[in-house]
Structure 1
Amino acid sequence: MSAVPGDIDTDAGPPMTVPLRHFVVALSFLVAGVAVGWAAGRRGHLAQVHLLVAGWVCLTVMGAMTQFVPVWSGVALHSRRLAALQLPLAATGFAGLACGFLLDVPVLLPVAGVVAVAGVWTFVYNVGRTLATAQRDVTTTHFAVALGWFLALTVLGLALALDHATGVLADVGLVRARLSMAHATVAVFGAVLTTVAGALAQLAPMFTQTDATRLDSALKRFEAVGYHVGVAALATGRLVGAPALARVGGVLVAAGLGAVAAVLAGRLYRARVEWNPMLRRYAVVAVAVLCWAPLAALAWLRDPLAYATLFGHPATGALLLVGIVGFVVAGTLYHVVPFIVWVHRYSDRLGFESVPTIEDLYDGRVSAADGIAMALAGGLAVAHEAGVAPPAAAVGAGVLAFVGAVLLAANLTGVVVVHGPRSLPELAGGRVGADSSDR
C-alpha cells in the first residue's frame, strides 16, 4: 500500500467531510470549466479561467491546506466552523464571477467578488491562525507566504470586478491591463504555485521515501528565497509598468520553479516505492517545468509586460496551466481523497480484518485513462499555441480535456460514494457546524 506516515495527527484536522466537500465541489468546477471552454470558445475565456483556476484549483488548495496544515504540524485547526463556512462563500462567489463573465452581466461581478472575498479571507484567517501556532519549516513558510498572495489576489480581483461594472479604474488613473496581469501573476505564481512548492517539499520525500542530497538542499535554499522575491518583483513590475523589475522577477520565478522541478525529478528517479497515479503525474510536472522554465526566462527577458508572455513563452501557456498546475493538482487529489477516506473508514480496522489499500479505493484503469487524455490535450494545446498544429488541434484538445476531466471527477467521486460514510447529496448539502466536534 502507499506509504502512510506514522507521525501525523489526523485528529488535529477538521472532520473528514470538510475537505471532501471542497474536493467534490472543486471537481464539479473542473468539469464545468472544461465544458465552457469547449462550448463557448474565446467568448467564454474569462469564465473558464475563473471556473478552473479559482473554482477547481483554489478550492482544492483551500481544502487541502485546511486538512493538512494541522495534520502536518500537529496543532489543532483554529476553527472547524470557519473551515466549513469558507466553502459555500468561496464557491458561490467563484460561480457568480464565472456567470457574470459568461452571460456578460458586469453588475454581477462586484457582488460575486465580495462573496468570494469573504470565503477566501475566512480561509486565510483560519489557516493563518493555525499556522501561527505551528513550528516553522519550509512547508509552513511557503503556506504562510501563499496566504498573503491569496489576500493580494482577492484585492486585485475585486478592483477588477468593480472596474468591469463601473469603469472606476479609469477615474483613478489605473490601467486595467496592468492590474489584470498583476492579478493573474499573483493568482498562478503566488497563491497556487507557492502552495505547490511548499506541499512538494513535504510530499516528495514522504511518498518517494528518499533522502535529500546536497544538491537538493542547495536548490531548496535558493528557491525558498529567490522564488518569493521573484513573484513579488514580477507582479509589482507588471502592476506599475516597470520592465526591469519584472525581468528580474521573471528570471527568479523561472529559476525557482526549475529548482523545485529538479529536486522533484531527482527524488522520483531515486524513489524506493511502487509508482502510483500521484507519482506518475508528478513526473509529468517535473518534465513540464524543466521544459517551461528556460523558455519562460527568455520570454520574460525580452518583454515581461506583454500579455502574450503572461505565463512565460507564448507557446507554453498550456504547458504551465495543464502540464504543471493541472497535473500537480490531479496527482495530489489522487492521493489526498483516497487517503482521507481510507484513514477515517479503514485505519482502525487494520490488523483486525482485511482492508483495502489506498490504491484499491479508485479504479487504476480510469486513472491511467484520464492521465493520458489530459496529457494528450495539453500536448495538442501546446502544439496549437506553437503554430505547428492546425486549428482543429484546439478542438481536439478541448474534447480530450473534457473526457479527462469527467474521468478524473468520476473516479475520485466514486471513492467518496462507495467508501465514504455519507452519500454524495448528504456530503454536498452538509450544514455549517454539523460535523462532530465542531467549535
Structure 2
Amino acid sequence: MTPVSQDFAPPLKLIAPFFDFGVLFYLLSMLALLFFEPTFSYQQMDVAGWVHLFLLGFVMMIIFGAMAQLIPVVLEVGHVVVDVYYIILPLLALGTVVMVLGFWLMPALLPYGGLLVLIAMIIFAFENIATLKKTELRTLTVDTVAWSNGYLLLGILTGFALALGLSGDLGINVSLMLKAHVYAVLGGYVILTIMGLSLTLIPMFSLAHGFDETAVKRAFKLVILSVALVFVGAVLGFEWLMMIGYALSFAGIFFYIWQIYIIAKLTVRKELDVWAKSIIFAFVTLLLSILFSIVYFITEQETALHTSVWFLLLGFVTFFIIGHLYKIVPFLVWFERFAPLVGKEKVPMLHEMYNKEGAAMMFWFTSAGVLLGGAGLLFESGILFKAAGSFLFTGAVFLYITMKKMLAYGE
C-alpha cells in the first residue's frame, strides 16, 4: 500500500470549490440527459456538448480537486505553486461552459472555450510535473501521475485541434483525431489516474494491507502501451495498430480488475456503506462495459458500443468518483475544522458528517438510472432512457444536497 502523509495537504478553501462546481456540473449534465434520445452518433454536436459537460465539468473538475489534495500527500512534498489552483478552477469552469454553448448553440465559440480549457489543463499538468520532480519516492502511484499527465497534454492538444476543426479554422480528419483525443483523455488520463488512486484509496478505506502489486504493475504497463498505440494509429490512420492497442487495453483492464479482487479478499472493513456499495457497483459496470465492447467488436452493432461507453462513464467512472467523495470530503472537512480540537472537546466521527439516508437515496436512484439507461441504449428504447434520465437526475439532486451539507459541516 502506498504511504500517505497529511503534512503537505493544501487548505480546504482551495479544494472545496472544485467539489462544489463538479457536483453542480454533474447535476446539470443529468438534467440535460432528459432531452436526449437513445439513438445518436458520437459525432453529433449536441452529444459532444453533453460529453464535454460531463467529462470536463464533473469528472475533470473532481479529479483536479482530488489531485490537488492527494499529489502532495502521496508524494510527501508540497506543491511547487499551489495557488495556481485558484486560477485553474475559473478557467476550467468558464471554458467548459463556453465549449458546451459552442457545441449546442454556436460552433464559433469552440476555439475560445477550448483555449480556456487548454490553458487550465496545461497549468495543471506542468504544476504536477514540477511537483513530481521534487519527490524522491519512486512508487507505482508516482509513475501513474507522471504518465497520466503526459497523456493529458496530448489529449488537450488534440482536443484543441478538434475545436479548431469543428469551427472551420483547421482542416483535419475529425473522425481519426476524435479517436486519438478520446483515448488520450479517457484511457491515458482518466483510467490511469483511477488506477493510481485505486492503489492508494481502496486499500486505505477498506483497511487492506500486505497485498501483491504484480497485477496492477502489468495493468499499468499494458494501458500505457495501448493508449500510445491507439493514439499513434489514429493520428496516422493505421487501423491495425489501433486494434492491437484495443486488445492490450482489454488485457490491462483485466489485470487491474484482478488487482482489485486481490485487495478485496484482504479487506478488513466489511461494512457496506455508500462507499463500499459504490465501488462494488463501479466494478460491476466496468465488467458490463467490457462485455458490451467485446460484443461491439464482434457484431459491429452501434447499440453495443453506446451501451459499453455508457456503463464505462455513467457506471464505473461516476461511481468510483461519487463513492470516494463520501470518504474524501468528510475527511478533509474533519482535518481542517476538527483535528485541532482533538483532546480538547468531543469531535464527530467521519461517518457522522454526511446524511446516510440521503446518500442511500443517491446510490439507489443513480444505480437504477445507470442500469435503465444501459438497457435503453441497448434496445433503443426511448421510454427506458427517459426513465433512466429521471432516476439519474433525482440521484444527482441527492448528491448535490448531501455534498453541500458535508462541505458546510462544522462551519
User: 2:294 aligned with 1:292, yes or no?
Assistant: no
Q: Measure the CA separation in 2 of the matches of 1:121 and 1:93.
A: 13
8 Å CA contact 2:290–2:308 kept in 1: the answer is: no
1:373-388 counterparts in 2 under 5 A? 373-387=365-379
**Counterpart residue identity of residue 70, structure 2:** F
- Backbone CA RMSD of aligned residues: 2.2
8 Å CA contact 1:182–1:239 kept in 2: the answer is: yes
8 Å CA contact 2:306–2:377 kept in 1: the answer is: yes
User: 2:201 aligned with 1:210, yes or no?
Assistant: no
**Counterpart residue identity of residue 78, structure 1:** V
8 Å CA contact 1:251–1:301 kept in 2: the answer is: no
Name the residue aligned to 1:147: 149
8 Å CA contact 2:366–2:391 kept in 1: the answer is: yes
Name the residue aligned to 2:247: 251
User: 2:398 aligned with 1:407, yes or no?
Assistant: yes
> What is the Cα deviation at residue 212 of structure 1?
4.5
8 Å CA contact 1:153–1:183 kept in 2: the answer is: yes
> 1:249-287 CA deviation, whole Å, 9 max, x = no partner?
111112212222222233234321133322221111222
Q: TM-score, normalised by structure 2?
A: 0.92
Name the residue aligned to 2:359: 367
Q: Measure the CA separation in 1 of the matches of 2:101 and 2:65.
A: 23
Indicate how the Cα distance of structure 1 residues 6 and 391 shifts in structure 2: closer, same or farther if over 3 A, else same. closer
> What is the Cα deviation at residue 167 of structure 1?
4.7
**Counterpart residue identity of residue 330, structure 2:** P
- Once the two structures are overlaid, the 10-residue window that deviates more, 258-267 or 326-335, is 258-267
8 Å CA contact 1:251–1:297 kept in 2: the answer is: no
> What is the Cα deviation at residue 90 of structure 1?
1.2
3-state SS of the aligned residue for 1:12? Answer: coil
Indicate how the Cα distance of structure 1 residues 7 and 379 shifts in structure 2: closer, same or farther if over 3 A, else same. closer
Name the residue aligned to 1:194: 192
> What is the Cα deviation at residue 350 of structure 1?
2.3
**Counterpart residue identity of residue 134, structure 2:** T
Runs of 4+ in 1 over 6 A off after TM superposition: none
Which of 239, 252, 277 is residue 274 of structure 2 equivalent to?
Answer: 277
How many residue pairs match? The answer is 403
Indicate how the Cα distance of structure 1 residues 83 and 56 shifts in structure 2: closer, same or farther if over 3 A, else same. same
Q: Measure the CA separation in 1 of the matches of 2:376 and 2:33.
A: 15
**Counterpart residue identity of residue 191, structure 2:** L
3-state SS of the aligned residue for 1:166? Answer: coil
Indicate how the Cα distance of structure 1 residues 6 and 48 shifts in structure 2: closer, same or farther if over 3 A, else same. closer
8 Å CA contact 2:275–2:324 kept in 1: the answer is: yes
Name the residue aligned to 1:47: 49
Which of 377, 383, 387 is residue 396 of structure 1 equivalent to?
Answer: 387
User: 2:408 aligned with 1:417, yes or no?
Assistant: yes
Identity between Structure 1 and Structure 2 (%): 24
3-state SS of the aligned residue for 1:63? Answer: helix
Q: Measure the CA separation in 2 of the matches of 1:377 and 1:370.
A: 10
Indicate how the Cα distance of structure 1 residues 291 and 218 shifts in structure 2: closer, same or farther if over 3 A, else same. farther
Name the residue aligned to 2:221: 225
Q: Measure the CA separation in 2 of the matches of 1:139 and 1:300.
A: 32
> What is the Cα deviation at residue 319 of structure 1?
1.0
8 Å CA contact 1:29–1:55 kept in 2: the answer is: yes
Q: Measure the CA separation in 1 of the matches of 2:306 and 2:30.
A: 21
**Counterpart residue identity of residue 209, structure 2:** D
Name the residue aligned to 2:118: 117
Which of 344, 353, 357 is residue 352 of structure 1 equivalent to?
Answer: 344
Instruction: Give 5+ residue unaligned stretches, structure 1.
Output: 422-439
Name the residue aligned to 1:93: 95
User: 2:324 aligned with 1:323, yes or no?
Assistant: no
User: 2:60 aligned with 1:58, yes or no?
Assistant: yes
8 Å CA contact 2:2–2:200 kept in 1: the answer is: no
Indicate how the Cα distance of structure 1 residues 300 and 390 shifts in structure 2: closer, same or farther if over 3 A, else same. closer
Which of 70, 73, 79 is residue 71 of structure 1 equivalent to?
Answer: 73
Indicate how the Cα distance of structure 1 residues 91 and 288 shifts in structure 2: closer, same or farther if over 3 A, else same. same
Name the residue aligned to 1:161: 163
Name the residue aligned to 2:175: 177
Q: Measure the CA separation in 2 of the matches of 1:317 and 1:8.
A: 33
- Once the two structures are overlaid, the 10-residue window that deviates more, 257-266 or 17-26, is 257-266
> What is the Cα deviation at residue 295 of structure 1?
4.2
Q: Measure the CA separation in 2 of the matches of 1:160 and 1:225.
A: 28
Name the residue aligned to 1:129: 130
> What is the Cα deviation at residue 6 of structure 1?
12
Q: Measure the CA separation in 2 of the matches of 1:258 and 1:84.
A: 38
- Once the two structures are overlaid, the 10-residue window that deviates more, 6-15 or 331-340, is 6-15
